[in-house]
Chains A and B, each alone.
Chain A
Amino acid sequence: MALDRDKANEFEQLAMPLFASLYNLAQWLTQDRTEAQDLVQETYTKALKGFGSFQAGTNFRAWMYRILRNTFLTSRTGLKTARTVSLDDEDESQPVSQSTNETPESLLLARADRETIQTALQELPVPYREIILLCDVEEMSYREIAEALTIPMGTVMSRLARARKAIRQLLAGKVQGAYR
Chain B
Amino acid sequence: MTCESWQQKLDAYLDAELPEAETRELDAHLRACASCSSQALTRSQLKRNIHLAGKQFAPDPEFRQLIQNSISPKASGRRWGWMVEAGIACAAVLLAIFGSMVWLRQSQRQELVGELTDLHVATLASANRVDVVSSDRHTVKPWFQGKVPFTFNVPELQGSPFELIGGKVTYLDQNPGAELLFTVRKHVLSVFIFKDSPELDRALGSGGLVRRLSFNMESWTDGGLRYVIITDAGRSDIDDLRARFVEAAR
Measured CB to CB, the residues of A under 8 A from B are 3, 5, 8-9, 11-12, 15-16, 19-20, 23-24, 27-28, 33, 36-37, 40-41, 44-45, 48, 95-96, 98, 102-103, 105-106, 109-110, 112, 114-115, 117-118, 121, 132-133, 135-137, 139, 141-142, 157, 160-161, 164, 167-168, 171
Number of A-B contacts (CB under 8 A): 115
- Give the interface size class of chain B: 35 or more
Expressed in whole angstroms, the Cα–Cα distance for A115 and B52 within the complex equals 11
Whole-angstrom distance between the Cβ of A144 and the nearest chain B Cβ: 11
| Given A117-B49, A168-B46, also A137-B54 (CB < 8 A) | yes
| Given A20-B59, A160-B11, also A12-B72 (CB < 8 A) | yes
- Do B38 and A106 touch across chains, with their CB atoms under 8 A apart? yes
Whole-angstrom distance between the Cβ of B226 and the nearest chain A Cβ: 57
Tell me if B56 is interfacial: C-beta within 8 Å of chain A.
Answer: yes
- Do B15 and A135 touch across chains, with their CB atoms under 8 A apart? yes
Whole-angstrom distance between the Cβ of B185 and the nearest chain A Cβ: 74
Tell me if B42 is interfacial: C-beta within 8 Å of chain A.
Answer: yes
Complex interface: stretch among B63-71, B144-152, B165-173, B231-239: B63-71
- Do B70 and A117 touch across chains, with their CB atoms under 8 A apart? no
- Do A109 and B45 touch across chains, with their CB atoms under 8 A apart? yes
- Do A16 and B45 touch across chains, with their CB atoms under 8 A apart? no
Expressed in whole angstroms, the Cα–Cα distance for A36 and B17 within the complex equals 31
Expressed in whole angstroms, the Cα–Cα distance for A12 and B64 within the complex equals 12
Measured CB to CB, the residues of B under 8 A from A are 4, 7-8, 11-12, 15, 17, 35, 38-39, 42-43, 45-47, 49-59, 63-64, 66-68, 70-73
- Do B47 and A45 touch across chains, with their CB atoms under 8 A apart? no
Whole-angstrom distance between the Cβ of A9 and the nearest chain B Cβ: 6
Expressed in whole angstroms, the Cα–Cα distance for A95 and B50 within the complex equals 23
- Do B53 and A36 touch across chains, with their CB atoms under 8 A apart? no
Expressed in whole angstroms, the Cα–Cα distance for A96 and B53 within the complex equals 25
Q: Which 9 A-B pairs have the closest CB atoms?
A: A137-B54, A27-B57, A8-B73, A117-B53, A23-B59, A106-B42, A136-B50, A114-B53, A24-B57
Main secondary structure of the interface of B (DSSP, over half): helix
Of B35, B46, B50, B70, the contact of A41 (CB 8 Å cutoff): B70
- Do A112 and B49 touch across chains, with their CB atoms under 8 A apart? yes
- Do B50 and A102 touch across chains, with their CB atoms under 8 A apart? no
8 contacts between A and B (CB under 8 A): A16-B71, A98-B4, A103-B38, A105-B42, A106-B38, A112-B46, A161-B8, A171-B46
- Do A24 and B39 touch across chains, with their CB atoms under 8 A apart? no
Q: A44-B67, A157-B17, A164-B11 are in contact. List 19 more A-B contacts (CB 8 A).
A: A3-B73, A5-B73, A19-B64, A24-B57, A48-B70, A102-B7, A109-B45, A110-B42, A110-B45, A112-B46, A114-B53, A115-B53, A117-B50, A136-B54, A137-B54, A139-B51, A142-B15, A157-B12, A167-B46
